[in-house]
Amino acid sequence: MWLEKTIKQHTALCGYIAATLYLLINNTVNALSVWTEHNRDGASTTQLWEPFVWEYTSALSLLVLIPMLVALFQRYPIKTTPPLKQVMVHIASSLVFSLCHVLLMVGLRHLAYTWMQGHYDFGEYHQEFWYEYRKDLLSYLFIFFIFHSAKWVLESSSDYEQQEMPLNQPPTQFLVKKHGEEHLIKVSEIEWYEASGNYVNLHSKGRIYPLRETLNSLSNRLATAHVTRVHRRFAVNEHKIKSVRFASSGDGIITLESGAEVNLSRRYKSDFKLALETPKT
């Protein structure tokens, strides 16, 4: 379907548009609610534009910071980052996120009030910050939940599509996601494969693309596609090998056409040599 295809091709953009629409609607409702509450007894000095400035500056500041949070969540994936490190990273980053949000929001409010010939008073920063942090922490956790939920859904969909491929035929390309975008990577252009937990980093044309699969499973699927396991963490494209040198220990170093070097374990040396000598059908 057109909508499903568009979302898959522009995941990050679609997510950002959805977040923008949500904040616009939510903060508009909040602004009207605040205005109504301030004027319930008819004696408020708050003008109509003020609640909208309060809410929209908060929303705009949040939208500016969302890409940074997404980059952080990608940098420290749940499955490959130790739990304690995860906790420490997110505690520190939530504080930085809240501080940036408050500074941006207050700065925009001062500009808006100056333009409207008014005066904005945020209050005592050291007191108000902790009040704002409680709200920002909820926003942080909500974005964290939405990001990983969306990632799980997209990865599950990708896994299902890969399972639909004929098992007796190796794949000729992979559809991988990186920074919210999808990339079509040809197997013939991948130089080497690096295990990273439940992911495999595909090294192609000087770039790295994470694929959600184990190296053991992937190397088995690509056994007839000139891809050979050379280490418990590495596999190489036989067509991209430039040279191989061995040490007295029996281990070796494989130099690829790009100049990259990959360790060859003596455990895999015999299979590696046999693979090079055996023509693929």
Tens-digit pLDDT profile for residues 229-275: 999 999 999 999 999 998 888 899 999 999 999 999 999 988 888 88
Q: Indicate the range of 20-29, 49-58, 175-184, 266-275 predicted with least confidence.
A: 175-184
Query: What share of the chain has pLDDT > 70, as a percent?
Result: 88
Sheet with 190-196: list strands edge to edge.
207-211, 199-204, 190-196, 234-237, 227-229
Per-residue pLDDT, 81: 66
Q: How confident is the model at residue 45 (pLDDT cuts 50, 70, 90)?
A: confident
The CATH code belonging to domain 173-277 is 2.40.50.1020
- pLDDT tens sequence across 97-110: 999 999 999 999 99
More confident residue, 160 or 59: 59
pLDDT single digits (tens) 139-179: 999 999 988 887 777 666 555 555 544 445 778 899 888 87
Q: Which pLDDT belongs to residue 95?
A: 95
CB 231 within 8 A of CB 274: no
**Dihedral (CA of 233, 209, 19, 128) sign:** positive
Domain extents in the chain: 47-159, 173-277
What is the C-alpha separation between 8 and 3, in angstroms, rounded? 9
Whether the per-residue pLDDT at 92 is higher than 90: the answer is: yes
pLDDT of residue 187: 92
- Given a contact cutoff of 8 angstroms between Cβ atoms, the answer to whether 236 and 227 are in contact is yes
Contacts of 111 by beta carbon, 8 Å cutoff, 6+ apart: none
pLDDT at 16: 80
One-character DSSP codes across 56-83? HHHHHHHHHHHHHHHHHHHHS-TTTS-H
Q: How far apart are CA 179 and CA 157, in angstroms?
A: 17
Question: In this predicted structure, what is the pLDDT of residue 217?
Answer: 87
Q: pLDDT band at residue 79, thresholds of 50, 70 and 90?
A: low
The pLDDT of residue 93 is above 90 = yes
Is the CB of residue 99 less than 8 Å from the CB of residue 61?
no
Report the chain's mean pLDDT, rounded to a whole number. 85
Query: Residue 209 forms beta bridges with which residues?
Result: 202
In the structure, what pLDDT confidence band is assigned to residue 2 with cuts at 50, 70 and 90?
low
